Amino acid sequence: MEKQLHTKTAKIWVVGGGKGGTGKTFIASSLGIYLSKKRKKNVVLIDGDIGAANLHSIFGIKQPERSLTNFFESKAPLEQVKVETGIENLSLIAGDIHSLAADNIRYYQKLKLFRHIKKLNAQYVLIDVGGGSHYNILDTFLFADKGIAVLTPEALAVENLYQFMKNAIYRKLRITLRAAGFRGLAQETWAEREAKKISNIRELIDFFMGLPETGNIIKNAFSGFKIYLILNKIRDMQDVHLGASIKSTFMKYLGIDVQYVGFLEFNDSIRHSTQNHKPFLVNHPESRLATEIELFTENLLLGNEIKIWEE
């Protein structure tokens, strides 16, 4: 039985974005609750927002008995760091690390964490990462089987997400070329982008795809790479349509596939639920917001996008 646990590979979803305050933690917890309660999946939530961990508070856990501190500092197995959420099939690995921040977790620690995440006894592992574009955050997002980007319909949020994805794709390009023996080539080419008539990340990727030495390498690395977009706190149909515009812009300038899987309307009851440390989806399972959560979760599971309708 022990051997089966260690050969099991969970499906890993990472919820991220360009900035804080977009509702990533709420979306991550809602995905976990839906998968565990409605789909009867064995789910582990991981709070990867190190330094500002608060995922545990959504479940009314004031002070987790265990957290990633035990994994990094006491070398406890990740499986033993899980705590119960009070919801069947759903456990939590808290990110409460007082002595570490996201930007000072060492490279070998990060790789160790990724290895242990893959071995967790779960069908789905959902990781909520913090805002910003530090390498550890980007690498966690790129580590995912599905990278889920959450943003609000505000110009600054869209700009921050664009920069986040630009940094993530450039990071992926650099790592891919370095692993193939072309260390520093991405940086050198980007520095000479005016001479090479490269104006954006998509053209940079196309440039390497056009080279005999790197074409197949880059094609294989980015084949199937996509992000899954969820808009949060939308107020009208104009906000809903923004998701389609973002999809087109990202595909044009970043050269990546974007699936617009759903949205969540603005509703003050979410804030009240969070303040009271009670999971919204548990207390309001028949609400309109619960239906919207079901829609984008099912789209993520099935690989579908939402259908945009007119008013």
The answer, yes or no, to whether residue 19 has pLDDT greater than 80, is no
pLDDT at 268: 85
Mean of the per-residue pLDDT values for the chain? Answer: 90
Position with higher pLDDT, 274 vs 290: 290
Residue 27: name the closest of 227, 305, 231 by CA: 231
- pLDDT band (50, 70, 90) for residue 266: very high
Domain ranges of the chain: 2-169+220-302
pLDDT at 249: 93
Least confident interval from 90-99, 117-126, 255-264: 90-99
pLDDT at 310: 44
Give, rounded to a whole angstrom, the gap between the first and last alpha carbons of the chain. Answer: 55
Average pLDDT rounded to a whole number, residues 16-35: 91
pLDDT at 51: 66
DSSP string, 172-228: HHHHHHHHTT-TTHHHHHHHTTTTTT--SHHHHHHHHHTSTTTHHHHHHHHTT-EEE
The answer, yes or no, to whether residue 5 has pLDDT greater than 60, is no
> Rounded distance, CA 182 to CA 186, Å?
8
| % of the chain surpassing 70 pLDDT | 93
- pLDDT band (50, 70, 90) for residue 95: confident
Q: What topology is assigned to 2-169+220-302 in CATH?
A: Rossmann fold (3.40.50)
pLDDT at 270: 85
- pLDDT band (50, 70, 90) for residue 24: very high
Average pLDDT rounded to a whole number, residues 178-200: 96
The answer, yes or no, to whether residue 164 has pLDDT greater than 60, is yes
Average pLDDT rounded to a whole number, residues 47-54: 79
pLDDT at 102: 55
pLDDT at 4: 38
pLDDT at 6: 42
Average pLDDT rounded to a whole number, residues 32-54: 91
Instruction: Count Cα atoms within 13 angstroms, Cβ side, for 77.
Output: 8
pLDDT at 275: 76
Residues facing residue 147 across a β-bridge: 14, 227
Residue entry with tokens 């994805």: 165
- 162, two tokens: 């664009």
pLDDT at 48: 87
The CA distances from residue 218 to 24, 171, 174, in Å, are 30, 13, 10
pLDDT at 134: 87
Average pLDDT rounded to a whole number, residues 81-102: 83
> Rounded distance, CA 159 to CA 165, Å?
10
pLDDT at 100: 55
**Residue 223 CA to chain centroid, in angstroms?**
19
The answer, yes or no, to whether residue 234 has pLDDT greater than 50, is yes
- pLDDT band (50, 70, 90) for residue 94: very high
The answer, yes or no, to whether residue 103 has pLDDT greater than 60, is no
**This model's pTM is above 0.85:** yes
- pLDDT band (50, 70, 90) for residue 273: confident
The answer, yes or no, to whether residue 308 has pLDDT greater than 90, is no
